[in-house]
Homo-oligomer: A and B are copies of this chain.
Amino acid sequence: MKKRLLTSCLTTFLFALYLTGFSQTDRNGAGPDTPPKALKPKIQRIGILLFNNFETLDVFGPVEIFGRLKEFYTIEFYSLEGGIVSSTQNVKIVTEKFREKDSLDIFLIPGGMGTRKEVSHEALISKIKELSSTSTYTLTVCTGSALLAKTGQLNGRTATSNKRAYDWAISQGEKVKWIKKARWTIDGKFYTSAGISAGMDMTLGFIRDVHGSDLARKIAYEIEYTWQENKEVDNFYLQDLK
């Protein structure tokens, strides 16, 4: 037992040593990106906003990735009222109610058919505005960017969204610099991804920006995911299957 503890401590120490060597510089960048702030060495709180009819993979793709880095992140699921929230694909998740005057390290907003209703839900939009203002980073997946755009937080900033709901998404923020052809975009503290699976590529991109390429590639490999590392390569832009 003692031996196991010792081995575990040694592994943790070596891993920490390994991480300190990670480069923070090799991003595929263009546009008005600014280098992201390195996260403080404490465990970071990721708060994920859920609402009924969110898209399943928008949430659980990023959760799979962030969830493997327990030494850096905790993941919490929130909704405006708390309680059980259901995805479009009938996944029933337990959520907490948002805390008063809370401030998250990373705030993640998924998309899905539910956004069509939530975009007119004033209390939710107001909460999104508050949390995206105070968070260190705000990440959106798919039509989550439409919710964020509605708050005005993306005005004058670059962003993208799901290409199959693009016209609707961009109509939620006319002052946003929408980029149609992008796997994901970065503008300061705001990361926005294209549709559904693109959220995984963006999350791996975020991990690369904060922790370096080696760790991001290691996770992609461990989850056997073929990561599109370049945020400007969007293979789902050109065709439009109906």
Contact = CB atoms under 8 A, between A and B. Distances in A.
Interface of A: 55-57, 59-61, 63-64, 66-68, 74-75, 77, 84, 87-94, 162, 164, 194-198, 218, 221-226, 228, 235-236, 239, 241
21 contacts: A56-B63, A56-B67, A57-B64, A59-B60, A60-B61, A64-B89, A64-B196, A67-B91, A68-B89, A75-B90, A75-B91, A93-B93, A94-B94, A195-B224, A196-B223, A196-B224, A197-B226, A218-B241, A221-B236, A222-B241, A226-B228
Copies of this chain, whole number? 2
A35 to B, nearest CB: 27
A241 B90 CA distance: 36
B89 A91 contact: no
Given A92-B94, A164-B222, A226-B226, 13 more contacts: A57-B60, A57-B64, A63-B91, A64-B196, A66-B89, A68-B89, A91-B93, A162-B224, A195-B223, A195-B224, A198-B224, A218-B241, A222-B241
